Chains A and B, each alone.
Chain A
């Protein structure tokens, strides 16, 4: 370790730090110590520097015994306070029961702690002026950094996860530190920066939550003249009356994305919960039938459902099904096996005949963006049960058979009246790529089946009946007779997403 202070020996610095109420670890910090080992074994480190014995000689032994709450760290680094604290973190995280293998942690400090640290740094710069221009914040380890060095191995052991200090860790434990005298100690800011306070109080909407956030205090202090600061806040800071408190331990796992394809066999089931004025119009929904078992197995806090388009409540979704994904918010179980997904699929099948899920799997965030990118290009296949209207009308098969060769048919679709209340009004160009006319299996002589391949975003019902002449040409225009659509099925959505699950291979590997 190099001595960065001018003139003063480490011994003098150590003694001074102890006198103003620093704990051993904070002394090491302000002596410029940068090795994790030293902080984990502070007595040894201090002995190595031949500080402890000498200090014990010179200092009044009774003063040492009366271990005050450290002026610099509010006790965070003091053994007697930190042990129960770490215990609490371990208990809380274990109670929340996550299955991930790595963790990171973050401390959120009270605002008054910024003041305290700033005051301390000013004091150090003044008493032990540095040879370099480097500010104290850069020169010395922060309380947070040292705390993580000490606490992370203990937490790792306690929660059986490895510590990942990098930003890419999906699981983080945020620990909020409280301090009883926080408000009292912050009050000086009101006098220190009267103008800013007055100004911010007026801008009530912008600063309604708190007049000064931690971030704004930090930047404010950097621009405050040290002598001005000292008029309102003691430097070095006063010895705290109480130690820090642990106000919250908040474990959070990044979202997990689960994708698959679903079928819908009911004509009385909406895709998402249908709630108007707080009243449920339908007992359940595709979303709930699919997602409830997924929430259950992942033990997530919440879920966001998204799919590649949507079908009306009275439309069936057949064939390979519709690609969808759900974002699991704060999942507690992330190591989900293919066999568990197959079990979810079976569970859905056993609870309802209306919905089926296939190809369930975990997907990455990048894969999720692909579902959105494919939105425009994908082709959808439909089957529509149509009737010609009027009591004397009958199906003109000859005319119908003349339609397929006319493809592709380009439509101009005004936003359908049925969705006009929630979509903006526009005329959109959509293409019918292929048409096929079939006989029905019903006894109705006025009915026929129209199968079609269309561009994504085509409103099929409106293409058939014309929506008061707002979709042109419509099937009605093409046939020259009134037609209506009485049932619609989506036969397929030509989007290869998510990757198909090979069911045969999977079942082989299980047996």
Chain B
């Protein structure tokens, strides 16, 4: 039998000045702005091609935009609900805490005394909360679009299409943010 001539690995990878990051390659970035009516408390939802969503902060969120130091990430969101106690079993993720867009994922307490509420932004099941944030809250500031993620959510299939339309595409988000800054400039 003939020996196949195989190209050395990497030859078919186009050389680029800047390579897209892992996040950019696999996820579509979507946004929810002014969450719960609070100006510029913007969230980002990374939607994987397999529909799994990663909820995190948008770059315009005050914590990131104003370079705040996070002292604590509080996952005790209600008397009886602690996001750290979420457990899932099996392929179907049985036993997961269910979420709607307004469900609170955690509260961020900053050194300057301000607190912020992070919400789910999507309907679905909570698969995983980022436990690393307990030990290292600053991850959220350092790497909001990767290791500083807040939660992994499996959106409901039926509401899947609906939530997608409620979230902003990156270009629309940028437009909204631009509008906001112009308004701010006019104000004073």
Contacts and interface: CB of A to CB of B under 8 A. Distances in A.
Contacts of B89: 424
A385 B13 contact: yes
Interface in A470-511: 482, 484, 486-489, 503
Contact of A383 (B4, B9, B26): B9
Contact of A441 (B10, B19, B90, B152): B10
Contacts of A441: 8, 10-11
A137 to B, nearest CB: 49
A24 interface: no
Interface of B, helix, strand, loop or mixed by DSSP = loop
Contacts of A469: 130, 132, 139, 146-147
Interface string A421-436: 1111100000000000
Contacts of A424: 88-91, 93
Contact of A468 (B50, B88, B146): B146
B175 to A, nearest CB: 27
Nearest to B94: A424
A423 to B, nearest CB: 6
B123 interface: no
A425 B4 contact: no
Contacts, number: 100
Contacts of B11: 441-442
Interface in A316-353: 316, 318, 345, 349
A394 interface: no
A345 B15 contact: no
A421 B154 CA distance: 7
A202 interface: no
Interface stretch (A55-63, A84-92, A252-260, A443-451): A443-451
A11 B21 CA distance: 97
B183 interface: no
A192 B1 CA distance: 72
A417 B19 contact: no
Contact of A503 (B1, B12, B13, B18): B1
Given A391-B17, A465-B22, A486-B19, A417 B152 contact: yes
Contacts of A399: none
B6 A318 contact: yes
Interface string A402-434: 000000000000100111111111000000000
A192 B51 CA distance: 59
A28 to B, nearest CB: 61
B128 interface: yes
Contacts of A389: 19, 21
Contacts of A465: 22
Contacts of B54: 417, 468
A316 B6 contact: yes
B152 A420 contact: yes
Contacts of B90: 424
B152 A486 contact: no
A238 B151 CA distance: 76
Nearest to A472: B132
B51 A442 contact: no
B8 A443 contact: no
Nearest to A451: B9
Given A358-B1, A423-B91, A469-B147, A417 B9 contact: no
A443 B10 CA distance: 10
A436 to B, nearest CB: 13
A147 interface: no
Contact of A444 (B6, B10, B91): B10
B91 A385 contact: no
Size bracket, chain B contacts: 35 or more
Contacts of B154: 420-421
A484 B22 contact: yes
Nearest to B88: A425
B13 to A, nearest CB: 5
Interface residues of A, number: 44
Contact of B127 (A267, A358, A425): A425
B127 A385 contact: no
A265 interface: yes
A418 B48 contact: yes
A487 B146 CA distance: 21
Interface in B1-59: 1-2, 4, 6, 8-13, 15, 17-19, 21-22, 25-26, 48, 50-52, 54
B149 interface: yes
A399 B95 CA distance: 44
Interface in A373-393: 383-385, 387, 389, 391
B23 to A, nearest CB: 8
A487 B1 contact: no
A440 interface: yes
A442 B147 contact: no
Contacts of B21: 389, 482, 484
B147 A421 contact: no
Given A391-B17, A468-B146, A267 B9 contact: no
Interface string B78-96: 0000000000111101000
Given A424-B90, A441-B8, A468-B147, A486 B13 contact: yes
A326 to B, nearest CB: 20
A493 to B, nearest CB: 16
A484 B18 CA distance: 12
Given A265-B4, A385-B10, A424-B89, A443 B19 contact: no
30 contacts: A265-B6, A267-B12, A358-B1, A389-B19, A391-B18, A414-B128, A417-B26, A420-B50, A420-B52, A420-B154, A421-B50, A421-B51, A424-B90, A424-B93, A440-B8, A440-B9, A441-B10, A443-B15, A444-B13, A449-B9, A465-B22, A468-B147, A469-B130, A469-B132, A482-B21, A484-B22, A486-B19, A487-B10, A487-B12, A487-B13
Given A417-B54, A442-B13, 5 more contacts: A349-B2, A387-B19, A418-B50, A482-B21, A484-B22
Interface of B: 1-2, 4, 6, 8-13, 15, 17-19, 21-22, 25-26, 48, 50-52, 54, 88-91, 93, 127-128, 130, 132, 139, 146-147, 149, 152, 154
Interface of A: 263, 265, 267, 316, 318, 345, 349, 356, 358, 383-385, 387, 389, 391, 414, 417-425, 440-444, 446-447, 449, 465-466, 468-469, 482, 484, 486-489, 503
